[in-house]
Amino acid sequence: MNEQGHTDRDAKPIQRIVIAGGGTAGWMVAALMSKTLGKSLDIKLVESDEIGTVGVGEATIPTLLTFHELLEINEQEFMAATQATFKLGIGFENWRNVNENYVHSFGTTGTDHWTAGFQHFWHKGRERNLAGDYGDYCLELKAALAGRFAHLPRTGMNYAFHLDATLYAKFLRKFSEGFGVQRVEGKIVQVKADADSGHIRSIKLDSGADIEGDLFIDCTGFRGLLIGETLKVPYQDWSHWLFNDSAVAAQTESVGEAVPYTRSIAHASGWQWRIPLQHRVGNGLVYSSRYIDDEQAKTTLMAHLQGQPLMQPRVLKFRPGQRHKTWHKNCVAIGLSSGFIEPLESTSIHLIQRGIIRLMRLFPVRGICQADVDEYNQQTLDEIEHIRDFVVLHYKVTNRTDSPYWNACRSMEVPASLQHRINLFRETGRVFRVPNELFAENSWIQVMLGQGITPKQHHQSADLMGDAELSRFLNGIKANIDRTVAQLPTHQAYFQQYCGAAKV
């Protein structure tokens, strides 16, 4: 018997899908669901042209390539349609301390031994004055800093995209409608639930139309119209770990060649993003309203723009956290309605993707089963908690003492799961990936080293190599990377030839 007092045998087959809300989340759901199950389902997406989308999520991570493979999307067509450029990582400026920078790249660094990761051999090399910077042994990182890019054989370079989120939603809308998705124009004015089961029965639009469904996907953004306002699923607030609750965004003209990485520039009370697209640059300042007000944030952002602004700065408010349940009754929240951390590591689009893939794997064809719901919610919570810890790491581990904001970040208590990882790396240099975790060992290592943690020791396997052997090992890796980077075309030349978009 499930939480409503009904047995799963009473469940009704799922045939009618209603996606409430469009934007990136809604159309990603529509695209994968229609491509996978469109022949057996009636899929409607409800959105209003009058309601704007957040639309600033312009940086992605390499998992998006998997999503596009599932959809069988042509990369060149997608990039041209969305004014996209390539992304090899994120450059963190002023995070460890003012005027100290590092890169979190998408690549692997060096070569691991089965007993110990490459960081242990690098650490031994640093002790013996035989090693350069940790980043010298990562192809993606060196290519990013050199402003170079190309597709390499056998997926020799890991990459993601910078894209126009609004154009991406339009691209996926056209794709989805090709597989039978019906778009319904209108504002949702009422959500009707069954008095007995509490399940959502229909949504009423301002036109008077009632859109009935068996399964509802809440893509209504921060408002959470279905999952929050109607089904009353509470929200778990993480603002005691993630202080930022606001962002101000603006677009500017391009004033130079597009670099193949996102720039994340720390300021006194937050951080600024700079994301180069083919036709413009996306900019924003993410900040905590406890330490700076909206007008000060606008002034800070506008003072640090490069290029002529193309719009007035727009303020966005959010609350970092996660719904206690992202699937409740016959409603699944995907995107901002399910929760939000912040844009620092470009995980928002990834979490949309993971939400819909997880739903496809647990799809309730014969009716909603509580065991499926519980599994979905547990997997979702585990995944976002790991991502939360990774993002909190950037704020906790810092040498900055120049503002109340950074002092508060540095001194806050963090989740025990994160504190363990920090302690383990600081004491031993070890990093272990949690099963099904998004960020791999090298991501944790790059950020922990970049933020200022130097391990106190290394694995004894590294001590088995003499200086000459260790030097040859390290220099061989670096030489291969330098040789490859030197042969790559510039990022600007490559994307213009590969997927250049029409001027807009």
User: Which position among 87, 124, 142, 478 bears the catalytic label?
Assistant: 87
Nearest Cα to 301, choosing from 282, 319, 278?
282
Secondary structure element (H or E) that encloses residue 90, with its range:
strand 89-97
Coil, strand or helix at 80: helix
Please provide the DSSP assignment of 212-256 as one string.
Answer: E-SEEEE--GGG-IIIIIIT---EEE-TTT----EEEEEEE---S
- Listing DSSP states for 424-485 in one string gives HHHHH----PPTT-SS-HHHHHHHHHHHT---S---GGGGGS-HHHHHHHHHHHHHHHHHHH
Please give the structure tokens belonging to residue 301.
């952002």
Does 87 participate in catalysis according to the annotation? Answer: yes
The CA distance from 459 to 86, in Å, is 36
The two tokens of residue 500 are 């250049």
Query: Each residue of 338-354: b (16+ CB within 10 Å) or e?
Result: bbbbbbbbbbbbbbbbb
Question: How many CA atoms lie less than 13 Å away from 311 in the CB half-sphere?
Answer: 12
| Token pair 């979490």: residue | 351
Q: 346: left (phi > 0), else alpha (psi -120 to 50), else beta?
A: left
CA-CA distance, 57 to 342, in Å (whole number)? 10
Active-site residue numbers?
Answer: 87
